[in-house]
Every structure is written in C-alpha cells, then in structure tokens.
Amino acid sequence: MSASEHSCRLLEVDDLMVFFENALALNSLSLHADTGEIVALIGSNSAGKTTFMNTVSGLIIDMRIKEKRKGGERITVYGSVRFQGEDVTTMPPQERVKRGIVLSRERHPVFPESSVAENFKIAGHLRKRTEIREVMDFVFELFPPLTRLLGRKAGFLSGGEQQMLAIGMALVVRPHLLLLDEPLLGLSPMMQQAVMEAVVQLNREWGITVMLSEQFARPVLPVIDRGYVVENGMLTLSGTGSELMKNPEIKAAYFGV
C-alpha cells in the first residue's frame, strides 16, 4: 500500500473475530473505510452486523465488562481495529467518541421521557450551546419534520421520527466516522429514501465518513462507494455499489427478486 493510500485510511479492521461463549459471531473479518466514503455492511439478520458495529464503536468492551461482572456469557475479541492509524482495539467507547467514532444504534436509542430538544442537549452535553444549535439547524434541514416536534416527548414520535432524532443526536457529537446500525429498520420505503438522502448530504456537505449496516440493499447500494456482504459473520463479497447492484446473487438474496 502506498503512503497516500495509508493517509486516507480512516478505519482499518483486520482479522476481527468475536466469540459469545463458544459461538462465533464474527469470523476473520477484514475491511476498511477511507476518509470521505460511504461504506455499507450488507447482511441478513444474525449475520454479525450489529456485533461489528459494537466492536468498532467500543461498546463490546462495556458489554464484556458487564457480562463478566454478573457472571454472564464470556465475550472474546481477537484482531485489531485502527482509526486514523491508531490502534483502538482496547480503547473504551467514550474515548473513541472523543476521537470522532460515533454510533447511532438500531431501534432508535432516544430518551423517551425527554422532549426532542432535550434529547439534543443530552447528546451534546460536552458541546457548547452554539455548537448544538448549529448542528440542530443542520438536522432540521436534513429532516424538516423534526422542526415542529421540538417540544414533543421522544417516546411519542413515530419510528421514522425517532430514527431522524437518533441520527441528529449522533451528529451533535461532531463525528469523523458515523456508524449507522440498521438505520432503515422498520421504516416505510419513503422514509428509507429520506434517511439515505440525508446520509448522502451528511457525507457531501459535512465531509463525514459513513459506515452503515443494513439488510435492505435496494435503497443503500445506489449511494455507497463500497459495500461488504457478510453472512454468518464472514465476508463473502465486496465491491462498489454499482458492482453489487449488478450481482445476481445480491439481487436474489437482498432485493427479493
């Protein structure tokens, strides 16, 4: 690899293996994301996508500590995760957030008893008020429906509205790498399209590198730079978005044709 290729590598994951007790969740998974890219991890349920996102974000470390404390299942991680050339494999999630790795988890992890505006403030507790306001203004451009919902409790939002809010909360932290775990789950086709359009806008206007995991390939492949297909925790295929769209195996498995 040339020096210039190395310099644009934002995320490098090498030979990642994750065990839950003796069950293998990720099997020798290696992939990367370059600065300014939109990269997708495509796979069905239980393919290992969420485990991958939790490992890159560092959440797996918290999970392992909690399981050990309560005598639960043993979680073991092998391989390496490098971010901006630094090995972050054993780094706690809060330290990774400070470096710019931010995860928006599946199923809308918002604070249901707090209003939309309060959710933004909670997410931005380390940011200045002016910075939070700037991000909120941008989020309202991305997702206009949130503008009229500022005073509403997040628990009363629809699934699509909660997903918009969850992505907005992740943006308040000002990520360099935004990890979106199943952002289209449970959304209508129209809302899926709105979310993917927002991802493109984030990437182009703010220069945020995005890595997302999805089982819905149809709305994702047209906008990504590269994609990786994962089955049973193993990498089975990779290519550009257009290459994967033309692949008959992908069409059969993830397009429902």
Give the integer Cα–Cα distance in Å for 32 and 226: 10
| DSSP H or E segment with residue 50 | helix 49-57
pLDDT tens-digit profile of 149-196? 999 999 999 888 898 899 999 988 889 999 999 999 888 888 899 899
At residue 17, does pLDDT exceed 90? Answer: yes
By DSSP bridging, strand 75-83 and strand 86-87 are antiparallel
Counting every residue, how long is the chain? 257
**Does 4 have pLDDT greater than 70?**
no
Lowest mean pLDDT: which of 5-9, 15-19, 108-112?
Answer: 5-9
- Decide if pLDDT at 208 tops 70: yes
Query: Can you tell me the distance from the alpha carbon of 200 to that of 142, in angstroms, rounded to the nearest whole number?
Result: 10
Long-range contacts of 237-242 (CB under 8 A, 24+ apart): 238/31, 241/40
Position 55 scores a pLDDT of 97
Q: Are 224 and 241 in contact (CB under 8 A)?
A: yes
What is the model's pLDDT at position 7?
Answer: 54
- Measured CA to CA, the distance from residue 99 to residue 135 in angstroms comes to 18
User: Among 80, 51, 56, which Cα is nearest to 177's?
Assistant: 56
Whole-number Å distance between alpha carbons of 138 and 72:
42
Q: How far is CA 105 from CA 30, 137, 165, in A?
A: 21, 22, 12
Kindly give the pairing relationship between strand 101-104 and strand 234-240.
Answer: unpaired
Q: Is the pTM of the predicted complex or chain greater than 0.75?
A: yes
Q: At how many degrees (to 10) do helices 116-123 and 129-142 cross? A: 130
Confidence band, pLDDT 50/70/90 cuts, at residue 129: confident
| Residue range 3-254 in CATH 3.40.50.720 | no
Ranges of each domain in the chain: 3-254
Spatial CB neighbours of 93, under 8 Å, sequence gap ≥ 6? 57, 58, 59, 61, 62
Is the pLDDT at 247 greater than 50, yes or no? yes
Listed residue (227, 155, 217) closest to 192, CA to CA: 217
pLDDT for the residue 22? 87
Segment 89-113, tens digit of pLDDT: 999 999 999 999 999 987 667 899 9
Give, in degrees to the nearest 5, the angle at Cα 116 between 111 and 118. Answer: 70
Chain centroid to CA 156: how far? Answer: 24
- What is residue 5's predicted lDDT score, i.e. its pLDDT? 47
Identify the CA nearest to 100 among candidates 88, 116, 118: 88
